[in-house]
Amino acid sequence: MDNKPHYKMSSIVFIIFFSISLLVFVPNYTTSFDLPRSGRVIAVFDGDTIMLKGGIKIRYLGIDAPEIAHDDKPADCYGREAKWYNHKLVYGKIVTLKYDREKKDRHGRLLAYVYTPDGKCVNAELIKHGYAFVFRKPEGFKKLVHFLRLQDLAMQKRRGMWGFCKTKRERFYIGNKNSFVFHRPSCPYGKRTSIRNRIIFRTREEAFREGFHPCRRCKP
C-alpha cells in the first residue's frame, strides 16, 4: 500500500500546528518585518515618549522620565525640562529604532532604543544628563548595565534632576524585588510588599544604583 499521501497530510498538519504555536506561545509576537526601523519624529509627548510620522508611538526602552502635568495632576520635578531636552534631541529628525526582547508595553506602544542621525542613543543621553532614570523589569534588557553606569555618573556629578530636585529623606526605603519599585516606609504599596520580595535600602541613591525606580504614589 502506498503511504505517500499519509506522509504529505502529516507534514501539512505539523506545519499548521507549528505556525499556530508560534502565535500562541511566543511572547511579544511582533516580528521584525512588522517593526519600523526608522521614522520622522512629529510629536514629543514627554521625556520618554514620541510619535513618528504615520502615528506610531514609541516609548524609550529602559528609561523613565519625570512626568509632565496631565489629567489635573501637577508635573513632577524636572518633567518639563525632560520633555524640552527630548524635543531638542529628536523633534523633526529621522531617527533609527533598535529593539530588544520586549517589543511593546502594556499600552501598545513600541519599546525601542532611539538613535539620532549622528548616532547618539537618545535613551542613554537622557540618563547621562540627568533627565531620566533607569526603568527595568525582572527580565532586564541588553543595555541595563550600561544605563546603570551612566545613571550612577549622573548622580555623582549631580546632573539635571539629581542636583536640582529636592526630596524629603527617609531613614530607609522599601524595595520590591519583583517589580523593581522602591517606596517610602509609610507607603501602603511598600507595606504590602511580601517578605520574600522585600529589600531595604538605606538611601534612595542606593535603590537607584540597584536599578530600582521610585513609586509613582509616594514619590520617594
Catalytic residues: 59, 67, 109
Distance CA 88, CA 84 (A): 6
> In this structure, are residues 58 and 109 in contact, taking their beta carbons and an 8 Å threshold?
yes
Residue 138 vs residues 109, 141, 151, 176, 201: alpha-carbon distances, Å = 19, 9, 19, 11, 18
Distance of CA 93 to the CA centre of its chain: 22
